[in-house]
Structure 1
């Protein structure tokens, strides 16, 4: 029996850290390879982290709610029959030139994610792809990934299943993935917390690494203290260890020194420092605001940054209109039963997606993007429609590719599946990227008109209001008709208002006469 440490792997393209939302195992539990052991939220999505070993959970190094950098140890396992391998992994050669050895190690680590299983490297795949591989009897180590950095997607697994005649009892599952030995999750690196400023009279230790318990780390964060500046309580394995009491003493000394500095500044009366002193009470007052505080991070922060980037990069103009969709309501009612017989739930959205894809072909500048670096407008020849979806973490945009080449039922089936997985936070990153135009349906909550923000770098987004009966004038009489309000936002750098209006008119033409979509 030997112990093995498992470090948080790269759970997404370019992700440097994640919040450990919940543990799916506890110390003493027996786990199998690829069994999900934790849920981690990155700035992109909530993902399950699979175990690389068959063994027993010995220790969990991270508490729920804690932010964990990629590469920090999160679990220690007890594994049978791998003593030789563990011993070999635990032995680290003493390099003659540490700087060069460290650089070489970093280069190798950076190269590892791009290695595919065909090369004998580690297999990178979403948990959903791994589950599918097990269900279909596919050896995931033999699958070539088409996703970012060679990541294996569900479509890759399905394709491999179609191409192979091997049974579920075929080739044995691959060996451990992301074998990581050594390290401590309680290590804080220089610069992870604190503002780096020290008041006069308080000497900072200024270390690069510090050992501390999770409770101590939380105390340091709450007090605004950098653990690397706190005088060490003791040394453990050659590393400085800091206790919670030491953190509190250091924080108190900092506050006392800051107060002394403030009095000195006040007495000096310098105009520059007076301005700084005046801002200090405001900051303190802000920190004392009452109410629940929720961390602004993960998917919510990513959404906010994307919205800010779009709004401050692309000058938005929104065109509003409304169209009579009585014929669409009747057609959908006819086809809904047929779709149900094929186990497909048919909403109005697939009709709108087909109408938009058809209109985009007639107005190619609506299906464009601006290559600012090369100063070129790129007219896309693909029609990938994103559908903004409300989830517990905020808006996600699953993408249905090649809408122009698919029938209504195929679009509905694919869209329903991706929306469901987006809300369950199990959708792959590659399924949330690559759209050329986006639809957002705020009408589901009773809205009529809005000013939707463009899903940058696209140049347009169509917002749908509530489809319901409204009064309409026909031949001088007021009658009730099903109408659909539309709100089209465009990037005014690429498109003019007239083009937006013409495009909206074409979309409305298809929705008013939906049988035309059957010809597309």
Structure 2
């Protein structure tokens, strides 16, 4: 028998959530046949079977979170189970129950190091309610401390998939980035009635990046060094019912309007279908959020490291403004620029925002 463990999927994450099994226990599989789909860093990844043989045990069920290096499935390389075909879909309720993680308490005492037992006794914590992270599921002192720090679980719903990744990224950004904001508004009175708002924002952001390259950059806080990018790989904040995605519009500064619109359409389609490749959700050099399509005027947006800036466009309204000495009704778009003040000066940020305004007003 061989045990297949969750491999490093190349995204720098330590775990993944099981979305669906494509085989069941007792099924015969061949190497490279789809085995299980897992979600990590907002992308669904199909993991293939590593060997040919019979699947004897599935170590998790859909919704479970497994760590890199943890058991995924056991294989009898020489077994001859019933042929399951190429893909058999998700598990039935009966199979799902059988595929649950084996309990470390069945037939044996709870495994815990002495220090963990003492700490649990001192704090009145039930070891049976703790999942151990040590070898073979052994409960460590760190596990008990983590359990003691948790608020009451009644009524709480654990974050899953996209929202779990978003929560982790936001916490990381808040801990690392020294952000500040600059805001202004663009007068869109010269626009046609059917202007493509998102496309205009993409073009304006690209123009600003070319004029003020300091915002199209990455910053490494540990080395106190920045990397200015010649190419503009623009992240487009995309809202879905499951959470926030940020697919990347590659080389946004050197593409035609028609090509950029086709790229935006394809990105939206892939995000909604959950078929966007994982590599298209990373390595943004700057991000654009057109949150005004939903609502809101100005926003204190979150800069995701190693990026140093994110542009936000608020809700367009018609308001009175003084134009050539007279009051006129003008279409106005509020603009927000959040930037990492460790790598970007206030003057650079202000010039960048002014360039966006000028490009939008042309």
In structure 2, the gaps of 5 or more residues are 81-99, 105-110, 139-147
Question: Which residue matches 2:158?
Answer: 295
Q: 1:434-483 CA deviation, whole Å, 9 max, x = no partner?
A: 22111112112111111111122222111111234344443455444332
Equivalences for residues 135-150 of structure 1 within 5 A: none
Matches within 5 A, 1:290-329: 290-291=154-155, 293-296=156-159, 298-329=161-192
1:198 partnered with 2:117: yes
CA shift, 1:331, in A, is 6.5
Q: Which residue is 1:223 aligned to?
A: 129
How far the C-alpha of 1:398 sits from its partner, in A, is 1.1
* Structure 1 segment 372-411 matched on structure 2, within 5 A: 372-411=221-260
Instruction: Return the structure number with greater strand share.
Output: 2
CA contact under 8 A between 1:20 and 1:63: conserved in structure 2?
A: yes
Matched, 1:19 2:17: yes
What's the CA shift for 1:370? 3.0
Q: Deviations over 1:68-97 (max 9, x none)?
A: 23344434567xxx74xx89xxxxxxxxxx
How far residue 289 of structure 1 moved from its aligned partner, in angstroms, is 5.8
For residue 190 of structure 2, give the secondary structure of its aligned residue in structure 1.
helix
Q: What TM-score do you get using the length of structure 2 for normalisation?
A: 0.73
Change (3 A) 1:201 1:466: closer
Report the alpha carbon displacement of residue 14 of structure 1 after superposing the two structures with TM.
Answer: 3.7
Q: Judging changes above 3 Å, is the alpha-carbon distance between structure 1 residues 422 and 39 closer, same or farther for their aligned structure 2 residues?
A: same
Secondary structure in structure 1 of the residue aligned to 2:201: helix
Change in Cα spacing, 1:26 to 1:375, as seen in structure 2 (3 Å) is: closer
Give, in whole Å, the separation in 1 of the partners of 2:220 and 2:276.
Answer: 28
> Which consecutive unaligned segments of at least 5 residues does structure 1 have?
88-183, 203-219, 230-239, 248-282, 333-346, 514-520
Structure 1 residues 360 and 225, CA, compared in 2 at 3 Å: closer, same or farther?
A: closer
How many Å separate the matches in 1 of 2:313 and 2:239? 14
1:60 maps to which residue? 58
**Counterpart position of 1:493:** 342
Match of 1:46 in 2: 44
C-alpha distance in structure 2 between counterparts of 1:75 and 1:357, whole Å: 47
For the structure 1 residues 315 and 7, does the alpha-carbon distance in structure 2 shift closer, same or farther, using more than 3 Å as the test? closer
1:358-385 CA deviation, whole Å, 9 max, x = no partner?
A: 1211112222333444444433222111
* 1:132-167: CA deviation from partner (whole Å, max 9, x where unpaired): xxxxxxxxxxxxxxxxxxxxxxxxxxxxxxxxxxxx
Q: Which SS does the other structure have where 2:274 is aligned? A: coil
**Counterparts of 1:484 and 1:27, CA distance in 2:** 57
Alignment correspondent of 2:141: none
C-alpha distance in structure 1 between counterparts of 2:132 and 2:172, whole Å: 31
Q: What TM-score results when the alignment is normalised by the length of structure 1?
A: 0.53
| Bigger relative contact order (CA 8 A; separation at least 6) | 2
Structure 1 residues 200 and 477, CA gap change in structure 2 (3 angstroms): closer
Equivalent residue for 1:90? none
Structure number with the higher helix fraction is: 1
Q: Is the 8 A contact 2:42 2:245 kept in 1?
A: no
Distance 1:16 1:374, change over 3 A: closer
Larger Rg: 1
Deviations 1:280-316 (A, max 9, x none): xxx69x744642x223465434433332333333322
SS in 2 for 1:382: coil
Alpha-carbon contact 2:18-2:63 (below 8 Å) kept:
yes
Q: 1:67 to 1:314 in 2, by over 3 A?
A: closer
1:429 aligns with 2:292: no
Match of 1:279 in 2: none
Distance 1:406 1:11, change over 3 A: same
User: Aligned-pair distance for 1:402?
Assistant: 1.2
RMSD: 4.1
Cα distance, 1:356 vs structure 2: 1.2
Distance 2:38 2:63 in 1: 9
